[in-house]
Amino acid sequence: MKVVILDDADAVASYGADIFREQLQAKPASVFGLATGSTPLKLYRELIESNQQGDISFSEVRSFNLDEYMDLPPEHPQSYRYFMDEEFFKHIDIDRSNTHVPPGNADNPLTACREYEGAIAAAGGIDIQLLGIGRNGHIGFNEPTSCLASRTRVKTLTEETIADNARFFSEGETQPQLSITMGIGTIMEARLVVLLATGESKAEAIKAMVEGPVSAWCPASALQMHPATVVIVDEAAASALSNPEFFKHIERHNQALLARIKA
C-alpha cells in the first residue's frame, strides 16, 4: 500500500487525476471503477478540464460505478446515476451506453447483482478503481462486518452512514436504507486501486485502514492485501497516522526515482 500525504484537497485531486490521465494515454480503452460523493468531485473536474482541452479522451472508456441506492430511479436527484451524469459524464466525450451504475430500481436486485459482476468480467476487469472511505471504514457501501471476499450484492446501510448521507435528502423525504454495492472481493480484483480521503473526519478511518489489523470491522483494511493500492490523503486525513513523516520520506524517494527514470 502506497500512502501519499499532500497539503490539501486540491493537491489530492491533482495527484489522483494524474494517475487517470496517464492511464488514458497508455490505454485509451481503459475500464474505470468510479465513485460518488464529495471527495472525488475535484478529481472529476480536473479530468473534465483535461478532456475539454483535448489532452485526454474518454471515447473508448467503459466505467462501472461502485454502488447505488435501492429503490431510487435513475432520474432521482439523489441517485448515484444522476450524480455521475450531472457531475461527470455529461461534460466528457464518453459514450453513455458504456457507463454502468448498479440498477437500484431493478425488479430483481439479486439477479441484477449477478449481471453486474458478469458485465465487469466481460469488459476484461477494472483497470483503475477509484474509492473514497467512510468514517466507519466502509468502501463502496461495504459496511463494517462485510465479508472481505464479497461480490456485488444488496447491503443494509448502517445508522452512521444513513446519518452521514441524510443532509442530501429533503426533510420528510424517504431515505433509502438499502443499497447495491460492488463487494470487497470485486474491488480487490481491480488492477490498481486509488483511494482519496480529505479532512480530519476521515483520520481515524485512514489509520485503521493503513495500520491494521485487517478486519471486517474496517472493510477498507482489506486493501492492505491488494498488490497495487495508492492512498492519497491531505494532512488532516493523515493526522492520526502513527508516523506520517515515514510515508512522506518514502514518497520523496519514489518521486526522485521516477524523475531519474524519465530523464
Choose, from 46, 51, 65, 67, the residue flagged as catalytic. 67
Q: 143 an active-site residue?
A: yes
Choose, from 46, 127, 138, 234, the residue flagged as catalytic. 138
Q: 8 an active-site residue?
A: no
Choose, from 46, 68, 143, 234, the residue flagged as catalytic. 143
Choose, from 51, 65, 136, 142, the residue flagged as catalytic. 136
Triad 232, 131, 122: Cα angle to 5°: 130
- Of 57, 103, 52, give the one whose Cα is nearest residue 79: 103
Contacts of 40 (CB under 8 A, 6+ apart): 13, 16, 34, 130, 132, 196
- 3-class SS of residue 63: strand
Q: 10 an active-site residue?
A: no
DSSP 8-class letter at 161: H
Q: 235 an active-site residue?
A: no
- 3-class SS of residue 88: coil
- State which amino acid sits at residue 34: L
- Residue given cell 476484461 in the structure block: 124
Beta strand ranges found along 11-159 (DSSP E): 31-34, 62-65, 67-69, 99-100, 128-131, 153-156
Residues tagged active-site: 67, 136, 138, 143
